[in-house]
Structure 1
């Protein structure tokens, strides 16, 4: 209320009326008082120019002139010399109103230009910041692509060479195991050997998944149907671990891609969520259409991911689990990107983690 236009207007009107009344109520014999009153008129005139720019300054000075002229004509008619001085004072009122209003108008225009320039600078800064973030993201994707490319070349060269001796080792261990009594300690050693060979074979398979080229023959894939198939596979594992899985299916959501590869990506994220809740919890899977994209969210109530690891979880071989290979999330990210989509993560330590997948939607969704 302090700087409201109504209060300012009332202040100017009150000052003009006050000074005018003092002029008319004071006799001309007290000319020294009238000299003071004439100067007091400058206060509302200057305030009008400062608060309402050129229009306010001129209107106030003209109002003062109109109210003051009858006083000059009537009460000072017998003092021609003093009356001439007062006419000059009236002229000064209007000059001061014009000058104060003009300067204020120029100041306001300059201030508006400064504000527009500041707004343009803020927009430019925001745009540059967004572009810088995009450049950093692209650089990170390029670095990740280089790592994946090197891993693919390494995988293609080594996978077949490693798998052959692994098959021989496993076969030999099975032959040795068949000729032993289960109570023999060497029987247990052979069983451990077979398990470790199987684990190494899975690692090699992960290498081959990276080396595998992007799918060329793509079809219409129902995301909800693929997720429903995956949940059939992991339902028993989740029940045993005390994990409740919610998946409210609504209609069909179609993308253009390779069903086998998308199933692998979804399965990796589902298993990753289950492994994050060894003491039980809830996995909530949601799908929906957002503009031209299909969104799939995997939200768990696990321990969460520390903030310093969020930028690393999609890197090959990065893992915080003792028996993890660090390739599951990297493979999922590679598959989603190969389908023209993106994958993001939001995690709060102690609360849980949400992976969001965005894939281009097919036209003509049901």
Structure 2
């Protein structure tokens, strides 16, 4: 809409309403004066012709009484020929011409603004008919002279009327245009109240319109505030949920992606690509749920994804709703429960086996010792008895470990200085480490603390350090790191030994599993059991030929279990 359209729509009708009466009045006045001028011309002509006949009759009387002769009479008649209104003189009507009645007769013509009249009169003394033609025009100088003031008044009145109409139309159109611009701004998202000076004090419909718009805007602002609050609440609800939510139309337009989804998308580089491929499946008629295991920036993640088709009112699928839940912690807890159940079953079995074997072993060792004292044995036979006792002692130690594994002591947790416990454990394997020339790099923060059973921590570190010492070749290297990260303490033991194959990693903490021909396979099983008993977590990373890293995670202070939190990375 152009700027002056409203003014034009108001101006043109107003001009017609105002100017047409003025023009009609002026034309009516001009026509009235023109008719009066015509009647005046008719009357003047009639009077002149009557005077002409009277003078002619008087001259004829002078001839009849002898005052003048015929020659003088003709001469006087010739001089008496008069012209009315500077037009042609009276013309006698011949016998051949059409006989017209006396008086004024209008001749047919097609000229606009001009009229041709003829005045027929009969000489009362000679009975000869004369005609006198006359042309009347509304545009004659005489008429213009008579009507000039009327025309001037009409022109002045028209100019004033036009000016007043323009002022009036502007006065009406300006607030309407302002209110229209204000309504346009509302359509573009503005909510500013209309300027009150535009309509206040007018006492007309525009003031009513302005007040109505003001009330409408105030109502809209209240509704907008309510909608904004509802939208903010929905956004907080969507962003606060544990599920990642993603909605996309069939043509690929993204409708929604909450913060949880964005965090998973950022931490798992391949996640969004896999989702996009998954959503392109042509079979979208029903709900589908899958479990994915993907690599993230913080390790492997277990994700539960689900897609649901969204239908319109006609039942046609128009979009897809996809949700994702990070179930890494749930899987970790399930694994812990499974491990605990498996270890518990193995512990019971180990306890039964240990009891069944330990007593016969004690009898066998006693018998061997008695026979060795009573019999006369040579050196070779005595060595055989010593070997029997040595193997019995070795079996007894294995059974003792099995009993420890099957019935671990209850954890008496407290805040322990990690450095102190590490030094105690390190002293116990110092001789074995030195014998192989293994160097140890310590990167331990002295302020690091652990919320754990002190004896359990000592046994955990001892078993891990022994395992690393056995894995490292002569002249190898070990590195021990301990640091705080939030509410947790991380302990990393790294060696540059032979490493562990991918096939052996899942079985590493299984009881009796070992790659050491002299080992029992219970050391790491005990480590895992004691770590779990203290609400901790143990992880292993290894590359064959490069080395292995054991990561132990414990609470710094009393709190929730490690790994029980929901990962938001």
In the alignment, does 2:548 pair up with 1:353? yes
Deviation at 1:270, TM superposition (A): 0.6
Question: Structure 2 CA distance, aligned partners of 1:239 and 1:361?
Answer: 32
Which secondary structure does the structure 2 equivalent of 1:337 belong to? helix
The RMSD of aligned alpha carbons is 3.1
Deviation at 1:291, TM superposition (A): 1.1
Which secondary structure does the structure 2 equivalent of 1:318 belong to? coil
Residue by residue, what CA displacement relative to the aligned partner does 1:147-170 show, whole Å, maximum 9, x if unpaired?
211112123334334222222322
Larger-Rg structure: 2
**Partner of residue 461, structure 2:** 266
Which secondary structure does the structure 2 equivalent of 1:311 belong to? helix
Match runs of 1:261-300 below 5 Å = 261-300=456-495
Question: Structure 2 CA distance, aligned partners of 1:238 and 1:350?
Answer: 20
- The equivalent position to 1:231 in structure 2, one of 414, 426, 432, is 426
**Partner of residue 397, structure 2:** 202
Residue by residue, what CA displacement relative to the aligned partner does 1:48-97 show, whole Å, maximum 9, x if unpaired?
xxxxxxxxxxxxxxxxxxxxxxxxxxxxxxxxxxxxxxxxxxxxxxxxxx
Higher helix share goes to which structure?
1
Structure 1 pair 216–110 and aligned structure 2 pair: CA distance change class (3 A): closer
**Partner of residue 344, structure 2:** 149
Question: Structure 2 CA distance, aligned partners of 1:216 and 1:249?
Answer: 24
In the alignment, does 2:380 pair up with 1:185? yes
In the alignment, does 2:253 pair up with 1:113? yes
- The equivalent position to 2:496 in structure 1, one of 271, 292, 301, is 301
Residue by residue, what CA displacement relative to the aligned partner does 1:14-55 show, whole Å, maximum 9, x if unpaired?
xxxxxxxxxxxxxxxxxxxxxxxxxxxxxxxxxxxxxxxxxx
Q: Which has the higher contact order (CA 8 A, sep 6+)?
A: 1
- The equivalent position to 1:314 in structure 2, one of 499, 502, 509, is 509
Deviation at 1:204, TM superposition (A): 1.0
Deviation at 1:139, TM superposition (A): 3.9
Question: Contact between 1:180 and 1:187, CA under 8 Å: does it hold in 2?
Answer: no
Normalised TM-score (structure 2): 0.41
Residue by residue, what CA displacement relative to the aligned partner does 1:131-156 show, whole Å, maximum 9, x if unpaired?
45445444433332222111121233
**Partner of residue 38, structure 2:** none
Deviation at 1:344, TM superposition (A): 0.1
Question: Structure 1 CA distance, aligned partners of 2:366 and 2:438?
Answer: 37
Residue by residue, what CA displacement relative to the aligned partner does 1:201-259 show, whole Å, maximum 9, x if unpaired?
12211211222245243333222111100111111111112212222443232222221
Normalised TM-score (structure 1): 0.62
Which secondary structure does the structure 2 equivalent of 1:149 belong to? helix
**Partner of residue 13, structure 1:** none
Question: Contact between 1:345 and 1:353, CA under 8 Å: does it hold in 2?
Answer: yes
Structure 1 pair 327–116 and aligned structure 2 pair: CA distance change class (3 A): same
Unaligned regions of 5+ residues in structure 1, if any? 1-108
**Partner of residue 532, structure 2:** 337
